[in-house]
Chain A
Amino acid sequence: MKALRFRFIIILAAIAISIYLLYPTIKDYQNTKHISEAVKTKRELVKKVNPAIAVDQLDKILQNTSDSIKAGDPSIRETRAKRIKLGLDLQGGMRVVLEVNTVKLLEKLANNPDDVFRGILAASGKEAALSDESVVDIVGANFQRKGIRLSRYFGTIRQDDAEILKDLKKQSEEAVTRAKEIIRNRVDQYGVAEPSIQLQGERRIIVELPGVAKEEEARQLLQGTALLEFKLLKEPEFTINIMEQVDKVLTGKSLVDTSSADTTKNVKKESKDSTLAKSDTSKNQKLSPEQFAKEHPFFSVALINPQSQSADAYVKSDQKEKLLRMLAKPEVQNLLNLNNAEFVLSAKPVTYQEGQGVFVLYLVNKTAELTGSVVTNASSNIDPSTSTPVVNMEMNSEGATEWARITGANINKRCAIVLDNVVYSAPVIRGKIPGGRSQIEGSTDLAEAKLLEIVLKAGALPAPVDIIEERTVGPSLGQDSISQGFNSALYGYILVGIFMIFYYRKAGTIAAIVLSLVILFILSVLAYFKATLTLPGIAGIVLTIGMAVDANVLIFERIREELATGKTMKASIDGGFSKALSAIVDSNITTFFTGVILYQFGTGPIQGFALTLMIGIGTSLFGALVVTRVLLDFLLNKGYKITLG
C-alpha cells in the first residue's frame, strides 16, 4: 500500500508538471484571441471614421494597436516564449533554402577574366547545380583538364594550384558565414517573430520566417546584398538649418532659396536663425499640438532637444512611417540632394517612452567616406582600463590610408556606421587614426558591442545568394490544417476510447482515461523541449492514440488468460503485467529506432512527426505500465470489482 501511495504521488506530480508546462500555451491562445478581438474592434472603428483609408495604412494602424497591447503587458511575451510552437505548415510562413553563388564570387575574385575563363566558369556552374562537390573543386578540376594554371586568373604567379584552391575555398566559406550574419541582421530588423536561420552543408543557409506571407518583400530581404558605409555626420548647426528648411518645405511655404550656393552663403545667418528657431519652437509648444503639427510638420514628428549639443532628433516608433513619407517627398529629396545630405535612422530604439521605442534621426553626408569592404576584422570586448565595452576594428592598407586622412580632417566630428541605411553607431572621431586600427566606444553593453562587431564584419555581401528551395504556406491553409488536425485527434480519441470501454468495460475505462493522460503528457513533453508542432506531428499524435492502447490490450489479454486458468484477480493482474512486459518493451524499442532514424533523415515537418512518435512511445509506455497498473491496484485494494468485459 505504501509503494502504491508513492507511485500515486509520482503520477499526480507528472500530471501537475504537465499542466504547468502547458499553461503558457493555453494562456497564449487566450491572449492571441484577446488581441485579435481588440484589433477587430479597432479595424471597425477606423473604418467608420475614415472609410476611404488605404489598406496598407490600415494595416499599420492595426499593427500598432496589437504591438501596444503586447508592449503593455510583459506576461504576454513570456507566455508566448514558453508555448508549444507551431510549425510553418500550421501557422503559415516561408521556408527558404539559400545557396551562396560561388560562381559569381569566383568571377569577382578573378584578376583579369576573359572569355575562356567565363566559358569554364559557366560550364562549372552547370555541373555544380547537380553535384555535391564544392564549386571551387569543380572549377579547379575543369581548369586542370584544360591545362590552364589557376594562377593565370587568381592569386599571384608564384602560387601553385593547390594553394590557390585552398585560398578560394576559404574565401567562399567566409562568404557563406558573412551572408548568414547579414541575413540574420536583416531578418531581425524586419521584425519577424521567432525566425530561424541555420547553415546547412557548405554553402547553404536555411531561413524560416513564420507568419511572413509577403514573398516579394522577404525575397528582397534575403537576396539583396548588404551595404556597410561610413558616413560623416553634418555639423549640428548645419543640421538644424536643414531641418528648418525641410520643415518649411513641408508646410508648402518654401521661401528660402534652396540652391546650394545660397545655403553655404547663408550658413551664418541661418544659424542665428536656427537659435531663434529653437526658441521659436519652444514658444510654439504653447500652441495646441494640432496647430503645431500644422505649422511645423517636421518638428512635430522629429523632436529635438534644445539643450543638447548635438542636433540628433528623436522619433517615436509610431511616427517613423510618417517621417519617412515626409522625407521621401521629391521637394525634400531635392533639398537634401543639393546639400549632399541624407537623413538616416538608428537601427534600434535608444530608449522607450510610453511603451514605444524612440529612434534617433541623424543627418549625414550622402556620399560615403568609405564602404565596409575595407574592414578586415572587428572584435568586441571589455576595455580593462575603463571596464566598458569597446569594439576594435581593423582595415586593409588601402582603407587605412583613407581612414587616416578622413579622421585627421574631421577630428571631433561624428562618423556614422551605416548598414543597409540604418545607423548602428555614430561615434565621435577623437583624433587621427593611422594604421587602420580603430577603437569604438560608447556601446552600453557587450551585446550591443557584439552586434556592432557583426555589422562591421558583415560589410558587403561578397556574392549573391540564390534561392534553391522555397516553400510558402499561406495562413489560411495553415488554419485549415490546424482544425483538421485537431478534429482528427479529437474524434480519433473518442472512437478509440469508446471502443476500449465497450470491449474491456471497467478496465477499458481505465485505459481510456490513461489515453487522455498520454495525450496530455505528449503535449507537455513537446512544450518542455520547446519543440515545434507540425501537421505531420499532429498525425503522429493521432497515430499514437491508435497505437498507445496496444500495450494495454497486450496486458488485458494476458490478464484474461491468467484469469482463465482460475487465478484470483490480483494474481492475474500481477501475472499479466509481468508476462506482457518483454513483448511490450521489444516491440516499442524497435518502433522507437525507426523514429530516431526518421528524425535524423527528415527536415522540418517530418522531424516533428518523428519527435511526437518517439515521445508518444515513451509516454504511452509510462501510461500502460505505471498509470494503468496503479489505477488497477488501487481499485482492487479499495475492493472494487474489476471487469475485463
Chain B
Amino acid sequence: MQLFHNLNIDFMGKRKFFYVLSASFFLLGLLNIVFRGLQFGIDFKGGTEIVVKFDEPIKIAQLRENLNATGLGEVEIKTFGDNTGALIRTELQELPANLFPKIRERIEHDINSSFPSVAGNFQSDKTTKSLTYTFSNSDTASAIAQKLFLDGFQSGKVTEEATNTQVVVQVGISDWIKESLKNKAQGNAFQIIREERVGPKVGNELKVDTIIAVVLSLIVILIYLAFRYKFIFALGAVLALFHDVLITLGLYAVLYNIIPGLNLEVSLTVVAAFLTLIGYSINDTVIVFDRVRETLKIHKTESLESLINLAINKTMSRTILTGGTTLLSIFILLILGGEVLRAFAFTMFFGIIIGTYSSVFIASAFVLDYAMKYHKKVEF
C-alpha cells in the first residue's frame, strides 16, 4: 500500500492562505488567553489539593455544601475519575487568620480538659503559621505536645532541650478539610488517595524555571540548526515552534471547562508535554528541511519555491505516517492513560497535529518569503 504516491501539490503557492489560517488561530488563542486567562494547576499557583475516594457515589453539590462550613472561602471541587472520587482544592496554603480563634479555642479546650492542672496557666503567641504556647515547665510541655498530636494537631516541642517549655501547633488546611469531611460524611467512608500541598515560593520558582526551560530549549535548537543548516532555516524552525506552543496554549484557554472530564490546567506534566511537543515538532521540521537541502544540492537551477514544494511533496508520506503512528499511541494514552495523564495526552495530541502542520506550512514558507524579500539565494 502506498499513500501520497507521486504527490504534486503547490503548497507554497497557497502559503498566504495558511498564514491567515495560523494568524486567526493564533489570535483566537491569544484573545482567550487574555480574556479568559490560563488556568494554572496547584504546581504553579500553590495551595492545597486533596483527592478523596468515597465508598459510595457522592454528589459534588452536597460535598460543596459540607465544605462551605469550614470557613475556607472559595473551595474548588471537581469529580476525579468516576463519581466516587472528588478533587478538592483551595488556593490557600495556610488557614486564614480569622479561623485561628476557632482552632485556638479547640486547642485550648483540649489542653484544659486533659490537663486541668495547667488550665489557664499558659501564654500563647500567634505568628502567621502556627500557635506557640509557653508552659510553666518542660514536662508539661512535652506531655501536652504529645497529647495534641494524638488529637490530630500537628504539634511539637520548639526544641528538644530539657529546658524547653514551648509547644508549637500547626494546623494545615488538609487536616481541617479532612476533619470537616469526617464529621459531615457519615455513613459514606472515604479515603484520601492523593494529597498535595505546594507553598507559594515553590510555585513562583517553578514559573521562572518553566520559562527558562522553554526559552533554553528554543535557543539550543536555534544554535544547533544554525550550525547544521543556514541560519534562516533555524530561525524559521524556531518561529514554527513558537507558533505551535502559542496555538496549543491558546487551545487551553479556549477549551478550558468546555469539555467535561478534561481538566485543562497548566501543571508540571503539561509543561513536560509542551517541551516534548517542541522536541517532536522540531523533529518534523528538520525532516522537511533536510529534504530541501538535498533537493537544493541536486537541482541547482530550479526556483526555491518549486524546490521546497518538491521536498514537501516527497516527505509528505513520511510526515503523515509518523504523525499518524505517534497520534495513534497518544490517542491510546488519552483514552487509557487515566486521569493523571489526560492533560498531558491532550496537549501532545493537538500539539502534534499543529506541529506537523507548522513544519510543512510555516517553517518552510518563512524561509521562502525571507529569501524572496531579500533576494537571497539560499544554498548549501
Contact = CB atoms under 8 A, between A and B. Distances in A.
A258 interface: no
Interface stretch (B57-65, B70-78, B102-110, B218-226): B218-226
B38 to A, nearest CB: 19
B2 A591 contact: no
Given A220-B149, A539-B341, A587-B287, A492 B333 contact: yes
A13 to B, nearest CB: 29
A220 B2 CA distance: 65
Nearest to A515: B325
Contact of A547 (B194, B212, B322): B322
B180 interface: no
A472 B58 CA distance: 22
A52 to B, nearest CB: 21
A454 interface: no
Contacts of B158: 104, 108, 225, 464
Q: How large is the interface on A (under 10, 10 to 19, 20 to 34, 35 or more residues)?
A: 35 or more
Given A561-B314, A594-B276, A645 B1 contact: yes
A474 B216 contact: no
Interface string B154-181: 1011111110000010100000000000
Contacts of A547: 280, 283, 322, 325-326
B78 to A, nearest CB: 16
B337 A605 contact: no
Contacts of A344: none
Contacts of A89: 340
B150 to A, nearest CB: 9
A108 B159 contact: yes
B156 A645 contact: no
B240 interface: no
Interface string B270-305: 011001101110111011001100100000000000
Interface in B196-214: 196-202, 204-205, 209-210, 212-213
Nearest to B168: A464
**Residue from B170, B329, B337 having most chain A Cβ neighbours under 10 A:** B329
Majority SS at the chain B contact face: helix
A473 interface: yes
A329 B330 CA distance: 60
A227 B141 CA distance: 15
Contacts of A543: 276, 326, 329-330, 333, 348
B336 A484 contact: yes
Majority SS at the chain A contact face: helix
**Residue from A477, A484, A593 having most chain B Cβ neighbours under 10 A:** A477
B338 interface: yes
B328 A553 contact: no
A125 interface: yes
B287 A546 contact: no
Interface in A461-511: 461-464, 466-474, 476-477, 480-481, 484-485, 487-488, 491-492, 495-496, 499-500, 502-503
Contacts of A130: 200-201, 204
A283 interface: no
Nearest to B215: A597
A223 B156 contact: yes
Interface string B96-132: 0000000000000000000000000000000111000
Interface residues of B, number: 84
B262 interface: no
Interface string A533-570: 00110010011011101100110010011000000000
Contacts of A215: 195
Nearest to A368: B162
A315 interface: no
B371 interface: no
A89 B268 CA distance: 14
A226 B149 CA distance: 16
A373 to B, nearest CB: 6
B57 to A, nearest CB: 17
Contact of B220 (A470, A487, A587, A593): A593
A554 B287 contact: yes
Contacts of B224: 589-590, 593
B208 to A, nearest CB: 9
28 contacts: A215-B195, A224-B157, A225-B157, A371-B160, A463-B159, A471-B197, A473-B193, A473-B194, A477-B193, A481-B338, A488-B329, A499-B325, A503-B321, A539-B333, A539-B344, A542-B333, A543-B326, A543-B330, A546-B326, A553-B325, A557-B315, A557-B321, A561-B314, A587-B282, A593-B224, A606-B268, A609-B276, A645-B1
